[in-house]
Every structure is written in structure tokens, then in C-alpha cells.
Chains A and B, each alone.
Chain A
């Protein structure tokens, strides 16, 4: 079953499309648009497959149980740290990446600390999506 969709393009795009059609690579504008859309969809599927594999590798290597990453994520979401987590946070202030600094007695994430926390939370959400966990 097929379905028709009406799409409007700016004139400049149409001109570029017609140039490609005149080379004989595509038989019509529809043919060209179909091919373009299919390539994009395929690319997106491949990207998702790679992401899934990467996230599962992170899980296998224990990254989601890494206390340092958990501490960074907890600071990012303003969750109160436990005593043990505070010790880890102090240790992280001496980490070469400097993800945390202490300002007026409080732990504060640096730019790279925010990147780590967001990356950790993003990948954790991705893992839950792969495993269908709510």
C-alpha cells in the first residue's frame, strides 16, 4: 500500500533536484525524494544500532555502577550526597579532569563535570529505552 504526501520545496531546491534528474541518476523528482528519505531513515537506524551496542558495552564494563559517575549525576540533579558519596566527591576534586570544585564549602560541577553528568544520564536513559525499563 502506498500513500501520497504533498511537499513544498523552495525554488532553489527544485533547481538542484532537476540538475540531478538531468544527469539520469533519478527518473523523477519523486524518485529522488524517495531515495533521499530512505537514505536518511537507514542512516538513523544504523546510528541507533551503534548507540545501542555502545551503551550495552558501557553496561558490561560496569559504567552505570561507577560511583564517581553516580556522584556527578547526583550533584547535577541536586540530590543530597551520602557520607560515602561526599568522600568520592572530595576525591573527584583532585581528579585530573577536575569535574568538581569546592566553592564556599559546596561541591560544584565544572563544565566537564556537567558534560560527564549529562552524558551519564543520557546513556542511562538510552539503556532503559533499549531494555524497555520504565
Chain B
């Protein structure tokens, strides 16, 4: 479903959204140079990112849990 690289990228995206709040796709890409539009679209399709009221995206419940799991910045 998600390969190791995608897991790492999702961890970074989750961190960015957590720190900065809901963001547009362009903003997510700007803050995460290693992440591509294709990756974001996959995260949306899998339901890890959900649309906010406007054209911005936030983490879903599954997204928050996997963000916690995949990003080492959340020290255990």
C-alpha cells in the first residue's frame, strides 16, 4: 500500500501539517522538497489527507496515527 519511501515522505508531510495547520497542496510541496504531487494525490486517495473547508488539506484520523508512527521526530 505504502512503500518504505512513501512512509517516510508521509511522516514528513504529517509533521508539516501538524506544525503549520491545514495547507494547500502547493504549500505542502514547498515545505517538503522531496515530496511530489503524485505522492500527495496518493495520500489523498488513501484517505490519509482530507479536504478542509477550502482548498486546503488536513490529516485524517488514520493520517494522524500513521504520522505519529512514521515520523521519528515524534520521539517515543
Complex CA distance for A54 and B70, rounded to whole angstroms? 13
Q: Is B25 an interface residue (CB 8 A)?
A: no
A111-B47 in contact (CB<8A): no
User: Of A50, A62, A111, A118, which is within 8 A of B1 by CB?
Assistant: A111
Check B18–A119 contact: CB distance below 8 A: no
CB distance from B37 to the nearest CB of A (A): 18
Closest to B72 in A: A47
Q: How far is the CB of A73 from chain B (nearest CB, A)?
A: 10
B73 at the interface (CB under 8 A from A): yes
A119 touches B66 (CB 8 A): yes
Contact A51 B75 (CB under 8 A): yes
- The bracket for how many chain B residues form the interface is 20 to 34
A112, B2: Cβ atoms closer than 8 Å: yes
B1 / chain A contacts, CB cutoff of 8 Å: 97-98, 110-112
Assess whether B61 is interfacial by the CB under 8 Å rule.
Answer: yes
- Interface size bucket, A side? 20 to 34
Query: Which of chain B's residues have a CB closer than 8 A to the CB of A35?
Result: none
Q: Once bound together, how far apart are the Cα atoms of A57 and B75, in whole Å?
A: 16
Closest chain A residue to B48, Cβ basis: A97
CA distance A69 to B47 in the complex (A): 14
Whether a CB of chain A sits under 8 angstroms from the CB of B53 is no
A119 to B2, CA, bound (A): 15
Residues on the A chain within 8 Å of B66, using CB: 112, 115-116, 119
B-contacting residues, A53-81, CB 8 Å: 54-55, 57-58, 61-63, 66, 68-69
Q: Is the CB of A68 within 8 A of B61?
A: yes
If A47-B74, A54-B18 touch, whether A96 touches B64 (CB-CB below 8 Å) is no
Q: Interface residues, chain A, CB within 8 Å of chain B?
A: 44, 47-48, 50-51, 54-55, 57-58, 61-63, 66, 68-69, 95-99, 110-112, 115-116, 118-120, 122-123, 126
- Residues of chain B touching chain A, judged by Cβ–Cβ distance below 8 Å, are 1-2, 18, 45-48, 61-62, 64-70, 73-76
Among all A-B residue pairs, the 5 with the closest Cβ atoms? A47-B75, A119-B69, A119-B65, A51-B74, A112-B1
